[in-house]
Amino acid sequence: MAFVDEMTFHMRAGRGGDGVVRWLHMKGKDLSGPAGGNGGKGGDIYAIASRDLGLLARYRNTKEFIAENGGSGESNSRHGKNGKDLIIEFPLGTIITNQDVGRQVELIEEGEKKLLLSGGRGGLGNEHFKGSRNTSPNESTEGAIGEEADFRVELRLIADFGLIGFPNAGKSSLLNSLTNAKAKIGSYAFTTLEPNLGAIHGRIIADIPGLIEGASEGKGLGHTFLRHIRRTKMLIHCISLETEDIKKDYATIRKELSEYSPELMEKPEIIVLTKADIPDSQTLKKRIKEASLLGKTIYTVSILDDSAIKSLADALALV
């Protein structure tokens, strides 16, 4: 199922149950006093955070979420049952915007639960209106309508490290080597069509789909996922050693980040030169020297070199 990171829904909390007019029936007395119960409260709607990134895809064909209505009051002063709350799971990092009032909630911790809409209060039964001057009230009230609104749901990944770089920079292969992830890889552009996650030393690494020149203006696939980079704590900038110009490749990606959001330029960044097994030794030394001039910490790896992968993994554990 395809990755989904933005959707809109209509949501409606439950309506409160109606209060009722009822009477006590005692032997010898038809109407022994008011005994109509209050209606139950309508169900609320909550959002709860989950680590399942595929949750939004499950809702692809869902247009509306509706909580249960409260039950009507009953005889013998029994209140109607409260409507069941509706609890909707959303991925960690989701921003949920009530488009009617502009209010936002963010889910940033697993299991975090946020109220989106409140159910309507229950109506009052005739027993509620009993008093010294009104011993036989014949009135009740209807339950209140629950809150209702349109919501925009946007997922922004939360990760410790974000793998960025051109398509074919070896990001997915690196993720698979560093973690137990099983990201799809291939020798063609845009193999990664959705962010992939892996864990290392308790830290989350996100493989962000490849950027290209013009991504911040909507070209290619990367622009769709630039938002996810904003929540990563550190950038791991992957540059393939197949390139003819490391400086140009680096500057192109940095330009796209800057044009999308200048704050991305302030994030800590390391450079990982990938596919170190491809160039000959002389070219490899030349490329590493070029990269060292960029003023960043440099790591050189090949997925065929276990020691290089381990050195990078150990370094990330210390960040």
Please list the residues that pair with 206 across neighbouring strands: 162, 197
CA–CA distances in Å: residue 44 to residues 103, 139, 256: 17, 27, 42
Instruction: State the chain's mean pLDDT as an integer.
Output: 87
Q: How confident is the model at residue 204 (pLDDT cuts 50, 70, 90)?
A: confident
Give the position of tokens 């197949």: 242
Reply yes or no on whether the pLDDT at 220 is more than 70. Answer: no
- φ/ψ of residue 285, rounded to 5: -60, -40
Report which DSSP code applies to 203.
E
Ranking 69-73, 208-212, 262-266 by mean pLDDT, the lowest is: 208-212
HSE-CB at 29 with a 13 A cutoff on CA atoms is 8
Fold classification of 1-155 is Spo0b-associated Gtp-binding Protein; Chain: A, (2.70.210)
Which region among 35-39, 112-116, 251-255 has the lowest average model confidence (pLDDT)?
Answer: 251-255
Q: Which CATH class is domain 159-317?
A: alpha beta
The order of strands in the sheet holding 297-300 is 196-200, 203-207, 159-164, 232-240, 269-274, 297-300
- Indicate where the chain has its CATH 3.40.50.300 domain(s): 159-317
Q: Tell me if residue 209 falls in helix, strand or coil.
A: coil
> CA–CA separation, 44 vs 144, rounded Å?
13
Q: Could you report the per-residue pLDDT of 224-244, keeping only the tens digit for each? A: 567 777 778 899 999 999 999
Q: Is the pTM of this model over 0.75?
A: no
Beta bridge partners of 208: none
